Structure 1
Amino acid sequence: MNFETRQNIANEIWLTDARSALDKVHQQIKTNTLSALPNLQNQRHAHGAIQSYWHSCFKLMAPLQVQIDFVNTLEAYEYIEIRNTGPAIIDLENWRLDLTDTGETLFTFPRNSYIKPNQAIKVEQQQSTFMFNASSPSFSRQGCQIKLFDSEGSLVSCWINGRRAHDSVIISHISHDQTSTKNEYKDHIELINLSTFWVDLSGWELCVQDGPSFIFPKMSKMEPCSELKIYADHVESGCFSFSSKTPIFNRSSKTVVLFDNNKQLVNEYHFA
């Protein structure tokens, strides 16, 4: 079960539980407060109780909804994209983005910074609504780590790329079967993200010994603690394909190597 599926299930459960809890709050207020003291002051008090309840719910759900969705490290146009994947509008006031490599805070969201459900916003180096204070390139092309913290300083999301991701991604499995009954075009290479961070795979390359290579397209990424399959010539949701008209493995293939976007070795897998 991938991250998106788990999150959708969590959202459905939350919505069901929230409606049930809200119904109970309404009933309790109506029974114990409004009926006993049916004046405007107590009605306002009841309304405030509901608002406090929803505020607590949204605050609890915010770290599960908001994530760093992409980081563009091109010097000419650096930006960080943040996405709200959940059902609630999130107040980002005093949330901040930190660059781990330098220990600096790139940006702190001001008052009245909101992100709607399914909305993506950009924090950019150039002039924009949300702009981090940097006159020169901030992100190392060799690799960087960017963290998003909420207003209380709790880590919400983390994004890594390049050398920063070397210890997080490994080649975990090779499906290679030369038997006559095997569909050789469904043979695949499997990667696993061992970390709780989002990993940017843009420009990374998989090389099969005496076989083809696969380069991950821009905005390719791995979810935290997830697996990813790259097939020989098979299309499947959430996976990639070499789109090779010939088998990616042959008799002399004994090694698969993974390089990052700077052609630096990340991991290698040897098989018989």
Structure 2
Amino acid sequence: MDAISKMSLIELSRHFAYLQNSELCWQRLEHLILQQCKENFVQARQSAQEVDAMSVWWQTCFELLSAHQIQICHVNYREEYIELFNRGPAIVDLHGWKLCAGDQGQSLVFPRRTLMHPQEKLTITTSEHDSTLNFASARPIWNNRGDSATLLDASWAEICCWKYGVAAHCEVAISQVHYDRAQHDEYVEIANLGSAWVDLSGWSVVGDKSQQFEFPTGAVLRPQGMVRVYTSLCHTQTGGFSFNSKQALWMREGGEACLLDYQSRLVSKFSW
């Protein structure tokens, strides 16, 4: 599958949860997979391989599945390592895949037989002395202020992107503040407007009445996703975050909510 077709499939699938009632989404997904199946079948016959349509269909579907299985799940800029996670049911060979770190051109191409089993984590360190898989760098490569990591498959289609700190500022915004407590509970909604996973660890929501909520370690915001920080309730469907306050925090008459990163830099401001 060529990089453009694969990226189209990946991008479509990222938004599928929000477009599941759209007939156009189903048609586009079916068209892309069927088109690639036909191309794979023709290539197999031209190379005189013994092949059947069902095998080609499963292989094409697996190419899409493997892209969704592997994701960047953590970047530790203090201890200088990054983790990948296979969240799917199949073994994936990362041979030829590429991991790009930050904006200084650091990269790692995975060697042969780099296999990730289902539910397995894979750690890649900065220094070659720390693990078998590493960037072979004698200097730190992860910026303490913020950085990004991008995982590409063997055709160099983007599989996953992870951002933290200043690198994620342009991806995230406070999308609304629900301040009318008469209609359920108050909440601040934070949206990811981009295609990268965003690490919210240590980020905080603060208001003009000194209210403050800090996201716990491991809190993430998925691409095109959103989370809500409620005043008193806790809804796992929207992240499970709450101020745990019995009093109203956001005034109907007007106010301001700010989103700060882990170094207290302003990311987004919402006023009403």
1:153 aligns with 2:156: yes
**Greater shift after overlay, 187-196 or 87-96?**
87-96
The separation in 2 between residues aligned to 1:257 and 1:158, in whole angstroms, is 25
Write out per-residue CA displacement over residues 154-207 of structure 1, whole angstroms, 9 at most, x where no aligned residue: 1110011111111111100111115xx445xx2100011000110111111110
1:257 match: 258
1:83 aligns with 2:85: yes
* Cα shift readout 1:25-45 (whole Å, capped 9, x = no counterpart): xxxxxxxxxxxxxxxxxxx95
Matched, 1:65 2:69: yes
Tell me by how many angstroms 1:89 deviates: 1.1
What's 2:203 paired with?
A: 204
Contact 1:204 1:260 in 2 (8 A): yes
* Structure index of larger Rg: 1
Specify every segment of 5 or more residues in structure 2 that has no aligned partner in the other structure, as ranges. 1-13, 21-25, 31-48
Alignment-mate amino acid for residue 235 of structure 1: C
CA-based RMSD of the aligned residues comes to 3.0
Distance 1:253 1:206 in 2: 17
Q: Is the 8 A contact 2:195 2:223 kept in 1?
A: yes
Aligned to 2:240: 239
Q: 1: CA distance between counterparts of 2:56 and 2:111?
A: 22
Q: Does the CA-based 8 Å contact 2:102-2:141 persist in structure 1?
A: no
Question: Number of residue pairs matched?
Answer: 230
1:57 CA displacement:
3.6
Q: Given the two structures, how large is their TM-score scaled by the length of structure 2?
A: 0.75
Q: Does 1:223 align with 2:219?
A: no
Q: Which residue of 2 aligns with 1:32?
A: none
- Note the alpha carbon deviations across 1:231-263, whole angstroms, 9 max, x for none: 112122123111223322247761001111121
* Superimposed CA distance per residue, residues 44-93 of structure 1 (whole angstroms, 9 cap, x where no aligned partner): 957x998776544422322122111111111xx22111112222211101
Question: Following TM superposition, by how much is the alpha carbon of 1:141 offset from its aligned partner in structure 2, in angstroms?
Answer: 1.0
Match of 2:97 in 1: 95
8 Å Cα contact 1:200-1:220 kept in structure 2:
yes
Secondary structure (helix, strand or coil) at the match of 1:261 reads coil
Contact 2:91 2:116 in 1 (8 A): yes
Q: Measure the CA separation in 1 of the matches of 2:234 and 2:121.
A: 27
CA deviation after TM superposition for structure 1 residue 270, in Å = 0.3
Q: TM-score, normalised by structure 1?
A: 0.75
